[in-house]
Amino acid sequence: MSDHAEIVEVGLRDGLQNERTPVDATTRARWFNALADAGLNRIEAGSFVSPKWVPQMASTDQVIAGIQRRPGLSVETLIPNQKGLDAALASRVDRIAVFTAASDAFTQKNINCSITESLERFAPLIEAANNAGLRVRGYISTIAACPYAGRIQPGAVADVTERLLGLGCDDISLGDTTGVARPREIDAILDAVLPLVPTERLALHCHDTYGQALANVLQGLERGIRTFDSAVAGLGGCPYARGASGNLATEDLLYLLEGQGLHTGVDLEAVCRIGNDICHRLDRRTPSKVAQAMQC
């Protein structure tokens, strides 16, 4: 099994999309560049969604314009529709992510359509992105539970996984949107999904609402997953999932992965310092235990 683990840094998207006060594009670009300097090479710069729905992600194009491109760095954004894809192409991102869920109720709240409608909408977008040479991620939210529909069956996650792969997604990120899952539930979801997709094309996206994110990562590691989403300073939530607190903190994830003998190429102390800067700006204390302990 590979001794390398990959982190997809989602703080500037999943984190900032939930902040009451939007952060200006220049500051977001500065944080992006600092995260890349720290060794993170897959970073979400924001999302091209409707500013009426998520005003915090407005001016993602200006964030991307301020990014120092470098070999090996993947600039990534979420897109929900053609308008989003057009903006992503104009900004020359490296990877787009389409996003749906294993729950129709959540999909309706999040992107105003059913799961099936979302997949019908994504099909030509994924094809166009592939033709333009972009990588495409498919997010599946509410893999364990939905804030509107309750528990989700692993089979529903497997079904959406199969459909997204069939449309041409390169990789699938399994999102525990409200952070309620525990390792046994993750295990059951992976039992259903792993027969359909090799571990190299899967990521776990854990929110830490119930403090289970690291345990779930460990479960994912045991099952062979090596890509994990996390957010510097544990930023995060989801505007359409009340009670969804921050993502797993990148600092905590790095500490775990290094301790398990997995190489990430990311400088933990540097990420802690960026987290401090972000927390200072947002006037809050970091939820990351590792950042608290290291006091960088």
Rule CB under 5 A: say whether 76 interacts with Mg ion. Answer: no
Q: What would the x/- binding string for ligand HMG be over residues 7 to 46, using CB under 6 A?
A: -------x--x-----------------------------
Minimum CB–partner distance for residue 47 and ligand HMG (Å) = 5
Angle subtended by helix axes 115-131 and 82-90, to nearest 10: 30
Kind and range of the H or E run holding 64 = helix 60-65
Identify whether the C-beta of residue 127 lies closer than 8 Å to the C-beta of residue 169. Answer: no
272 counts as catalytic? no
> What letter represents residue 226's amino acid?
R
Q: Which does residue 110 touch among Mg ion, ligand HMG, none (CB within 5 to 8 A, set by kind)? A: ligand HMG
Rule CB under 5 A: say whether 14 interacts with Mg ion. Answer: yes
Running DSSP on this structure, what letter comes out for residue 246?
P
Catalytic residue chosen out of the listed positions 238, 272, 279, 296: 238
12 vs 28: CA distance, rounded Å: 7
Minimum CB–partner distance for residue 83 and ligand HMG (Å) = 4
Rule CB under 6 A: say whether 103 interacts with ligand HMG. Answer: no
HSE (side-chain half, CA atoms, 13 Å) at 41: 11
The residue count for the chain: 296
- Which residues in the 269-288 window bind ligand HMG by CB under 6 A? none
Residue linked to tokens 């069956």: 153
Identify the residue among 56, 110, 227, 250 touching ligand HMG (CB under 6 A).
Answer: 110
- Which residues in the 176-195 window bind ligand HMG by CB under 6 A? 177
Identify which of residues 19 and 267 has a Cβ nearer to ligand HMG in the complex: 19
Identify whether the C-beta of residue 48 lies closer than 8 Å to the C-beta of residue 79. Answer: yes
Helix and strand element counts for the chain (H, E): 11, 10
CA nearest 159: which of 103, 222, 226? 103
> Which residues contact ligand HMG (rule: CB under 6 A)?
14, 17, 47-54, 78, 80-81, 83-84, 99, 110-112, 139, 141, 175, 177, 205, 207, 238-240
> Which residues contact Mg ion (rule: CB under 5 A)?
14
Active site residues: 238
